[in-house]
Every structure is written in structure tokens, then in C-alpha cells.
Amino acid sequence: MSKLFEEMAQGTAEARAYMEGERKGYKVTLPESIDVRGIRNRLRLSQGRFAEAFGLSVDAIRHWESGRRNPEAAARALLIVIAHDPQVVMQALAQSHASAPNVADAGKRTAKSVRANRSSAS
């Protein structure tokens, strides 16, 4: 067998072991840079619409596309997933938004419970 084939077979075996839970500590390596403009253009979205669709800031997109800044690792990971399947990302974000509790209501409930605890402690 060729060395390339052996390396590919070993990589496949390692991936299978990880997916079956037999191997721990797998580390994903992200690219240092990503073509944000290319992803956005492929989706035919303006910077504003791209930002809205994926929960990003328009300023961040402008900085990334101009080369003034590089996306952090988490943003690069999100951008890779967006490039792979934007519809899945949009659906997941829409579902999480629909099921997330309203932050303002949560704050009101917390303040109410603090007041109630103070009253009962007196």
C-alpha cells in the first residue's frame, strides 16, 4: 500500500472511532482566514442582510471584508458552517430565537423575586 493510502485509512479509522465515542480529545483546526465576502456574495446578500440572517454585526463584517480584522475562532467556525449549509444555520437560529425566553421578562421576574425575598426576610 502507498503511504498516502495508509494515512487516509488511519484518518478514516480515527474519525470513525471519534464518532463512535471511542476516542476523546479530538481537536478541530480552523483556518486562520476566511473569505467572508466570498461567502456573502455566493449567498447574494448585502452586508446588512448577511448580518441580520446570521446574528452578526455589520461593522464586524465590514472589518473582516476590508482586512482590518480577522474573525475570532468562534466566528470562523460559524462562517464555515454558513458556507457549508446556510439554510441549516438560519433554521437553527430561528428555532433558538423562538424557544429562547424573553430576556426583559426574565429580568423582571428576577427583580420581582428579589423584592419578594426581601419582604419575607423582614
Residue range 1-18, pLDDT digits in tens:
577 777 777 778 877 777
50 and 76 both lie in a single domain: yes
**Can you say whether residue 65 is alpha, beta or left, with left for phi > 0 and alpha for psi between -120 and 50 degrees?**
alpha
Residue 95 C-alpha cell reads as 428555532
Which residues span the domain enclosing 24?
A: 1-28
Cα–Cα distance for residue pair 99/3, rounded to 1 Å: 50
Task: Answer with the residue of higher pLDDT: 13 or 58.
Answer: 58
- % of residues, the chain, pLDDT over 70: 75
44-48, 66-70, 87-91, 103-107: the lowest-pLDDT one: 103-107
Residue 103, pLDDT > 50, answer no
Give domain status of residue 48, yes or no. yes
Residue 40 identity (one-letter amino acid): R
Give domain status of residue 122, yes or no. no
CA torsion 18-22-25-27 (nearest 10°) is -10
Residue 83, pLDDT > 50, answer yes
50 and 61 both lie in a single domain: yes
35 and 7 both lie in a single domain: no
55 and 106 both lie in a single domain: yes
Number of domains in the chain: 2
Over the chain, what is the mean pLDDT? 81
What is the pTM for the complete model shown?
A: 0.61
